[in-house]
Chains A and B, each alone.
Chain A
Amino acid sequence: MPNPFLAKKEYIIPYAAVWILIAGIHAAVLYFFSERLLLEASVDALIFNIILAGLGLSVWYAIRYYDSSNSTALDTLLYHLVTGTVALTVWLASGYFLVRISLPDFESYREFLNESMPWRGISGLLVYSLMVLVYYLYINLENAKEQRKKQDELQLQVREAEIDRIKAQINPHFLFNSLNSVSSLTLTSPEGAREMLVKLSSFLRYSLEFKENELTNLSDELDHIEQYLAIEKVRFGKRMQPDIQYGDDCKDCRLPNMILQPLFENAIKHGVYESTDPVEIKTHIRKEGDILRISLFNTFDPEAPPRKGKGIGLRHVANRLSLVYQLDNLMHVDKADNTFTVTLIIPQITIS
């Protein structure tokens, strides 16, 4: 933060005006009440107040230099007592010296100046304290402003992420194509249409309730996946051959919710979308000590050129895993011949 009085025109002008006023009063008091010569009064007021105005500005640097964030109030007070004393001593000494060389007849003024020194010290102390207060107030206001700005930005980011997330979870093409299938089913199998709508609704409900850091049971996740696959099965028929295998000891394992759906969506997008032959989507889930290992294999047409946008859904999964578990390398991807494999390693140790 730069010195507010020097950085901003709207501050430096009032600051200068106040000091001109003070210097004026200073001179007037000496001239009218103490009955000093006009020359003496003006020189005294000019010299002492210009220096003090300068010191007032430099108090800023004393404050900025001193990091009060991890010191006690007493420390801060002591610090300002020391810097204040030094500053005032410099002020009084230099003022005295300058007045002495500026006045042609200093001897007649010396006694008055000596006597007024304690008063000058006290008024200087007041000015110093006032400046310290003003600066602290300014810093606090600026910090609060900054903080509010940061908070607003953060909130905006969170909201944007949320929207992105919802968009990513519920692919609009999936939704519209599924609705089109429902529409078609009403002709051939009203019952099937009803069933599909129910599945689609539960799928949407689960997706919308999703929270970034929430863990869920594998069995819930698999229910959700089964709904998803059942919906896609209506669209793709024989072209999609899913198969999920898991041990009974896996059912209660915990994992971030909605972590599996993007994997299946990816398998469908790059496998089923691009192939005219049936595409197998095999899932093996095993518990191995402290980890749950989830592997998804899908066949794909090796001749179909890779489509654009590949990997965004998967990257999102990897990012979430590293965020939730604070560990990297929890997702592995392998592409060989005509099989694409994604493996997730989900730690089962309770996270604090």
Chain B
Amino acid sequence: MTKYSVIIIDDEEPARLLIKNYLSKHAEFELVAECENGFEGLKAIQELKPDLLFLDVQMPKISGFELLELLDEYPAIIFSTAYDEYAIKAFDLNAVDYLLKPYGQDRFDKSIYKAAQLLADKVKFEEPIKALIETRPEQQPVIDRIVVKTGSKITVVPTAKIQYLEADDDYVEVHTLDERYLKQQTMKYFEAHLDDSEFIRVHRSYIVRISEIIQLEQYEKDSKILILKSGKKIKVSKTRLKNLKEKLGI
């Protein structure tokens, strides 16, 4: 019998212990790693490629959701948290189940049967459908940080450091004063989730921090460009000009 491999990611030891105990009743699942934060978790997932993940949401460094954003391949995921407010988001991410702490063996078994069924059917746990998250901006009204991965290095970029964002195919370039990061995400997502009192979308390919703008200049006959404090010039699309002027109060 092939065993399904499991990783537990939870920053509280008693919580991991409990999952381990519940899991020990299911011989077809095998624990391959337990991690106490998102960084460790990410490393373990990439190395061990587990079939199933027990994931806490609130953790140091990066949250459970931020961890998922960094994955290329998705295992089956069962969330295990005391926070009930993320349930909808979790199911948007194709989670197998959402366990609310504290839960008992019964409830745990239900999740694990469901996971076993899905794994047996070889259901592909796709990357979350980003479009779905975009249509639910209320799920995470305003983000205050972005987690990015450069090679094996993970960086948490506070949105307060962002100067502007530039679209780049399937990615978005995140520009801070002295760095540039690539994030696999859409402009639409950032337009919906960045604080709109701080950021404004001025072009199909650009979102700019309002306080970075120092000048709005005539470019060609009927197009304008923005000049940022850093000297960077950014195109403004005609359709978004009116909104920009309103924001700048001109």
Cα–Cα, bound, A179→B14 (Å): 10
Q: Is the CB of B60 within 8 A of A181?
A: no
Which residues of A (171-190) have their CB < 8 Å from a CB of B? 172-173, 176-177, 179-185, 187-188
Which residues of B (134-161) have their CB < 8 Å from a CB of A? 142, 144-145, 156, 158, 160
Is B13 interfacial (CB 8 A cutoff)?
yes
Residue of A nearest to B61 (CB): A276
B58 — which chain A residues lie within 8 A by C-beta?
173, 273
Q: Is the CB of B14 within 8 A of A181?
A: yes
**A172, A273, A276: which has the most chain B beta carbons within 10 Å?**
A276
Is A306 interfacial (CB 8 A cutoff)?
yes
Is A164 interfacial (CB 8 A cutoff)?
no
Is A2 interfacial (CB 8 A cutoff)?
no
Given known A304-B156, A305-B156, contact A180–B60 (CB-CB < 8 A) = no
Is B17 interfacial (CB 8 A cutoff)?
yes
A183 — which chain B residues lie within 8 A by C-beta?
18, 102, 104
Residue of B nearest to A182 (CB): B102
Cα–Cα, bound, A307→B63 (Å): 12
With contacts defined as CB atoms under 8 Å apart, how many contacts are there between chain A and chain B in the complex? Answer: 71
Cα–Cα, bound, A236→B104 (Å): 21
Q: Is the CB of B14 within 8 A of A235?
A: yes
Cα–Cα, bound, A176→B177 (Å): 41
Cα–Cα, bound, A273→B156 (Å): 16
Is B83 interfacial (CB 8 A cutoff)?
yes
Encode B80-105 as 1/0 by CB contact (under 8 A) with A: 00110000000000000000111010
Main secondary structure of the interface of A (DSSP, over half): helix
Is B168 interfacial (CB 8 A cutoff)?
no
A308 — which chain B residues lie within 8 A by C-beta?
142, 144
Cα–Cα, bound, A51→B145 (Å): 77
Task: Give the shortest distance, in Å, between B88 (CB) and chain A (any CB).
Answer: 18
Residue of B nearest to A186 (CB): B18
Counting contact residues on chain B (CB < 8 A from A), the size range is 20 to 34
Task: Give the shortest distance, in Å, between A270 (CB) and chain B (any CB).
Answer: 11
Q: Is the CB of B61 within 8 A of A185?
A: no
Residue of A nearest to B17 (CB): A184
Q: Is the CB of B14 within 8 A of A304?
A: no
Which residues of B (36-84) have their CB < 8 Å from a CB of A? 36-37, 39, 58, 60-61, 82-83
Encode A188-199 as 1/0 by CB contact (under 8 A) with B: 100000000000
Given known A181-B15, A187-B17, A237-B13, contact A303–B156 (CB-CB < 8 A) = yes
Enumerate chain A interface residues (CB-CB to B < 8 A).
172-173, 176-177, 179-185, 187-188, 234-237, 239, 273-276, 301, 303-308
Q: A183-B102, A237-B13 are in contact. List 8 more A-B contacts (CB 8 A).
A: A173-B83, A177-B12, A177-B101, A181-B12, A182-B102, A188-B17, A274-B61, A304-B60
A-B contact pairs, 21 of them (CB 8 A): A176-B101, A177-B82, A180-B14, A180-B15, A181-B12, A183-B18, A184-B17, A185-B14, A187-B18, A236-B12, A239-B11, A273-B60, A274-B60, A275-B60, A304-B156, A305-B145, A305-B156, A305-B158, A305-B160, A308-B142, A308-B144
Enumerate chain B interface residues (CB-CB to A < 8 A).
11-15, 17-18, 21, 36-37, 39, 58, 60-61, 82-83, 100-102, 104, 142, 144-145, 156, 158, 160
Sort A-B residue pairs by CB-CB distance and give the 4 closest, nearest first: A184-B14, A305-B158, A176-B82, A180-B102
